[in-house]
Amino acid sequence: MARRDYYAVLGVPKTAGPDEIKKAFRALAHRWHPDKNPGDSEAERRFRELAEAWDVLGDPEKRARYDRMGPLFTPDGKPPRPEELNELFLDALGGLFGRRRPGDRGEDIRYTLSLSLEEAARGAERTVAIQRTVSCRDCAGSGDAAEGRTPCAECHGTGKSATRRFLRNDCPHCAGRGYRAPRKCGRCGGEGRVAQEEQLKVKVPAGVATGQKLKLRGKGNDGPGALGAGPPGDLLVIVDVMDHPFFRRRGNDLLCEVPITYAEAALGAEVAVPTLDGQTNIRVPPGTPSGKAFRLPGRGLPSPDGSGRGDLHARLVVEVPATLDAEARAALEEFARRAGPGAHPRKRAWAESLRERTT
Ligand SMILES: [Zn+2]
Ligand SMILES: [Zn+2]
């Protein structure tokens, strides 16, 4: 059988560097992978061809030999076996299809932590219950039952193949384990990992905001395969600061609307204003306009970098009486009659301007 030109199979020039060859293989293998083309024999043939080309051109030694010998070259005289193809493919693409294999890093876990604004301001220590996927302790992550294991005859228990084929030299007969196991582990059902709920302490620094991520390194899922073969993932705690009945947040500042009566605004008053650490009073001077904001320095949230605190802005909003009894109504009418021309300067200026424009 005449072998194809491997460079043509991958669509790269003979001068292509290793990166270019790898890139070409990845793109084509992605396109022709049997998983993506089920039942398509043409795709299967192309994929085989790609794998064979990659096996040679992806290995500098083999590639040099191929370049010297051309069509006479045979990798080792045998076509690759299906499980080797798959292994080769997974090696080269590294979890492109989301499949994890022994030695990979464990998955990250995301957890949304809801906090009150007070907790966000002060910082908090919270215990959260996390579902982690951890290495099975009965089989140390291998997925194989301990009973009935026999050393692999092919690799004499080493798990290593004498001839390096493709990218790894794991023994293909025992997948690098060094033994044959007739039974799956009873605890994890052969998965090597089990789901487990864990209580974890999360330290929330003062000043956090919604959307901020706190990373607990190594508290994600354990990696698949033998215990410690791959590092565990991380736990990402995503902060969600709940709405507050009084405060809105703007950076490290807090905004608060404080309703006051017409009389308080006109006559002046002591008005109670909420803060994150209890309430405080502010002096509203006589004649304070509606919408006036008072700044309470340092009563906002701490900056996460420790450079001081934001402010609290209390905005006074005059509430117009919703209902009036006869007596209050009479008093207000009396007030309207008595309020001199200087009582409402803005209204007066407005009325004058309106008159000038319309006459
Ligand atoms: Zn073996
Ligand atoms: Zn197990």
Fold type of domain 247-320: HSP40/DNAj peptide-binding domain (2.60.260)
Considering only residues 5 and 259, tell me which one the structure prediction assigns the higher pLDDT: 259
For the segment 271-288, the average pLDDT, to the nearest whole number, is: 94
Mean pLDDT of the chain: 85
Distance 130 CA to ligand 2 centre (A): 21
The closest alpha carbon to 4, from 66, 87, 64, belongs to 66
The closest alpha carbon to 293, from 284, 280, 304, belongs to 284
pLDDT band at 70 (very low <50, low <70, confident <90, very high): low
Distance 29 CA to ligand 1 centre (A): 28
Place of tokens 């299906």: 82
Tokens of 148: 């009935």
pLDDT band at 85 (very low <50, low <70, confident <90, very high): low
pLDDT band at 136 (very low <50, low <70, confident <90, very high): very high
The predicted pLDDT at position 203 comes to 95
Distance 169 CA to ligand 2 centre (A): 25
Tokens of 282: 């502010």
Domain 6-93 is of which CATH architecture? Orthogonal Bundle (1.10)
Q: Which ligand is nearest to the CA of 170?
A: 1
Res 17 pLDDT > 70: yes
Q: Is 222 exposed, middle or buried (0-12, 13-18, 19+ CB in 10 A)?
A: buried
Q: Which ligand is nearest to the CA of 138?
A: 2
pLDDT in tens, 283-335: 999 999 999 999 999 999 998 777 889 999 999 999 999 899 999 999 999 99
Distance 135 CA to ligand 1 centre (A): 23
Tokens of 284: 């509203």
Q: Which ligand is nearest to the CA of 144?
A: 2
For the segment 212-219, the average pLDDT, to the nearest whole number, is: 94
The closest alpha carbon to 48, from 1, 16, 98, 100, belongs to 1
Domain 105-136+193-243 is of which CATH architecture? Sandwich (2.60)
